Chains A and B, each alone.
Chain A
């Protein structure tokens, strides 16, 4: 079984400041890793994904994440946030060996960007 822990439920941050959202996972097998964003009253949109290769992954809207296998982490960062980045962010994992595309999500981190 897999699990995902997002260590911060809420992160307030000032506009143009950097932000880091922490994600740790637990799995007995190799995984694919994802960050999704959910804007108010909307579905989930893929920000970025790690499937293989370089451990530093760049996504949309200036976000990036680093896969650290030894620490089983996949933290999300943005060097300078905008008001429009106010949203909920979900880390998710998918098992390489599982049949089909099934995701296990963390509980989410709510980012509030203040002017």
Chain B
């Protein structure tokens, strides 16, 4: 049973560029959430997708956008990158009918903005 998979694992961008990160949820899961984890901090909720729509959103600017596909996989897009966007981006999947907060995380995509 494949867990949550994310790609790429590492990437380097320069300020002002755009980046797309990808996530495949755990088999059987229908909800994908994205978190940003800055160095030395806890993960911060960016947004959550269910049924191809953004269901909840954290306190992140519109430069952060996402998409969910019919096969439940998801993308996170960040435009006009800033140095402060350097972080580990974690994707987590869950099953909407099990509304208990338990998430299954991928290993993350580490973004460095120079």
Q: Which residues of A contact B (CB under 8 A)?
A: 4, 6, 32, 34, 36, 41-46, 49, 51, 90, 92-95, 98-108
Q: What 8 new A-B contacts, CB under 8 Å, besides A6-B42, A42-B107, A94-B101?
A: A4-B42, A43-B107, A46-B102, A99-B55, A102-B48, A104-B45, A108-B41, A108-B42
Q: List 26 A-B contacts (CB under 8 A).
A: A4-B42, A6-B42, A32-B101, A36-B105, A43-B4, A43-B106, A43-B108, A44-B92, A44-B105, A94-B101, A98-B56, A99-B99, A100-B31, A100-B50, A100-B94, A100-B96, A101-B48, A101-B102, A102-B48, A102-B56, A103-B45, A103-B101, A105-B42, A105-B44, A107-B41, A108-B42
Q: Looking at the complex, which one of A36, A41, A49 makes contact with B100 (CB distance below 8 Å)?
A: A49
| Complex Cα spacing A57 to B24, Å | 30
Number of A-B contacts (CB under 8 A): 81
Q: Are A101 and B103 in contact (CB under 8 A)?
A: yes
Q: Are A103 and B56 in contact (CB under 8 A)?
A: no
8 Å CB interface, B8-59 against A = 31, 33, 40-45, 48, 50, 55-56
For chain B, give the interface size range: 20 to 34
B residues in contact with A101, CB < 8 Å: 31, 33, 48, 94, 96, 98-103
Q: How far is the CA of A36 from the CA of B55 in the complex (A)?
A: 24
* Complex contacts, B102 vs chain A, CB 8 Å: 32, 34, 46, 49, 101
* In contact, B90 and A44 (Cβ under 8 angstroms): yes
- Is the CB–CB distance between B43 and A105 below 8 Å? yes
